[in-house]
Amino acid sequence: MTTTIVDSFTFCRLGEQASGETPVAQFARLQKDLADSSGQLRWRFTGGRHPQDLPQLTMAVEGEVQLVCQRCLKPLAHPIASETVLVLAHDDAEADEIEARLDDDSIDVIVGSVAQDFLQLVEDEALLSLPLSPRHAVCPEGAPSVEGGKAESPFAVLKQLKS
């Protein structure tokens, strides 16, 4: 079994790799946004060096989670497929300096650690991949009807009674 707590600077310096599969049920923060805790997240970390000679982690996260459709309130399968480049800094001040120097939105700069928890990074990435308002493209049969992208107001029934 691969350990998920590592010295991230040594991991990058040695060009190590780690991968695994973790049940969604183990991610407490992620579960708060889900319909249920079924599924697995597959993850992979590769250590290395950024072209500017900075420690760099490449993280890939894949899997599927069950969200709640905000339109019909039924489960909605949401695929996660993400690959992120993380450049490591020793503290917040250095992270800010590296971020300004790189000026690259495709790279995230984080504070590394001698006790970096890869599963926390996986959970962060999964949370960032979730849509703000998950919705089916077409809600399943039996869901409340939505006309023109807008649900009928419950006050419309009252208005009809008044007439």
Q: What is the pLDDT of residue 4?
A: 87
- pLDDT on residue 122: 96
Which pLDDT belongs to residue 140? 84
pLDDT of residue 86: 96
Model pLDDT, residue 145: 47
- Going residue by residue through the chain (163 aa), what tens digit of pLDDT does each one get? 456 899 999 999 999 999 999 999 999 999 999 999 999 999 999 999 999 999 999 999 999 999 999 989 999 999 999 999 999 999 999 999 999 998 888 889 999 999 999 999 999 999 999 999 999 988 887 655 454 555 556 666 666 666 6
SS3 88: strand
User: Which 8-state DSSP code applies to residue 139?
Assistant: P
Of the candidates 50, 38, 27, the one whose C-alpha atom is nearest the C-alpha of residue 127 is 27
pTM for this prediction: 0.81
Q: How far apart are CA 99 and CA 48, in angstroms?
A: 18
| Residue-range domain boundaries for the chain | 5-162
Strand ranges, E, within 3-137:
5-6, 17-23, 40-49, 55-68, 75-89, 107-111, 116-117
pLDDT of residue 141: 74
